[in-house]
Chain A
Amino acid sequence: MPTLANYLLASGILFAVGLGGVMLRRSIIIIFMSLEIMLNAANLALIAFSRYGLVSGHQVFDAQILVFFIITVAAAEVAVGLAIIVSLYRARQTTHVEDLDTLKF
């Protein structure tokens, strides 16, 4: 039987993979995909706590409701983010973050 630590470590490693993608990749689309991986790693931890933390033998579904809301917000975020990337590409003809340094000090 898998322990809670197994799930938390899997979730943490997945989060670290997403964090690595955000910090090491230079294409804005791949950075956006890595953000999605990080959101999903948090979801895995929430679902694991929801299954392991029983109250007198019964499951409490609050964590799963939170995951439901996170999935909805992430869908809205993807739509808006990709629209921003498209209008950025129209203005600059690039998706490489090092070429988008107008706001850099």
Chain B
Amino acid sequence: MSEVAVVGFAQAPNVRRTPGTTNGVEMLVPVFHRLFAETGLSKQDIGFWCSGSSDYLAGRAFSFIAAVDAIGAFPPIMESHVEMDAAWALYEAWVKIRTGEAETALVYGFGKSSAGELRRIMAMQMDPYLVTPLWPDSVGVAGLQARLGIEQGLWTEADMAEVAAASRRAALSNPDAQLSGETTAEELLKQPYLADPLRAHDCAPITDGAAAIILASGDKARELSERPAWITGFEHRVDTPMLGARDLTTSPSTIAAAKAAGVDGVQVAELHAPFTHQDILLRQALGLGEEVRVNPSGGVLAGHPMFAAGLIRIGAAAAEIRAGRADKALAHATSGPLLQQNLVCVLEGR
């Protein structure tokens, strides 16, 4: 089967609010143009297109069809879509190339979270019979998980604040970041609770954004990039949707995906942790030691465009490989409430 590598990555600036439509066209067109300029490819060179987005976030049916306008889909293209983070669209594209159906693929994700009431819309991903009718908001539900870990001694509010401070410091070198700056855990802990035990800094910001990645197979990847980021492990697993029936202080699906993908020896990791305690939880679940650089981009606490944020983790990890700053990198993406479904992508330079 074909080897597959990331050969291009671009994202729109992560911002609190864009004036554009919820179909993402205004954010995607410049992202595509940057990717084509970077790789020297044109739309005719792309064998397969796949996207991740959500109609509930957009407030309209088939919003991903409107987004196809950004491609200029003539002559007709081979195209697919997942109603989840575009990291899973990348998985579909990876399978397409692995099985020889395509030589190149462009994967994109977009989300205009500012159009609606994000933490309320997120109730739509819960069990529609027994949970969504209560409209549990994503921040309140995350607080349940954070407190379990605090009371079991797995992390403290100070540890969580340190994660937020580290994210903002790292994001100083990320021109697309929404939140960045010099701050300390002590300063952050002076802020009031948003949803006790969570403060605002514990929660990823509300972000509008979009991103895209180009994948290519074997020789094509070597032709397009001096140092492609080869995908050497790619797995995703899911835990039960019943929040009360699983151990919320760890992530069995992340552990299983990482084991299958083979993460030993990674030098850098980009984790999709929308809440500070989940950053700590994921490091513990993945067994990442002090020697592993985590979230050099600042991670999603510095900018969290829904349905693109997981894809951006893969793009950021690939950037570390392609720039020669690492030989083996881990990218993680999550979907569903409280890290229910998790994807691990291992990238290597040669």
Please determine whether chains A and B interact with each other in the same assembly: no
Using a CB–CB distance below 8 Å, which chain B residues touch chain A?
none
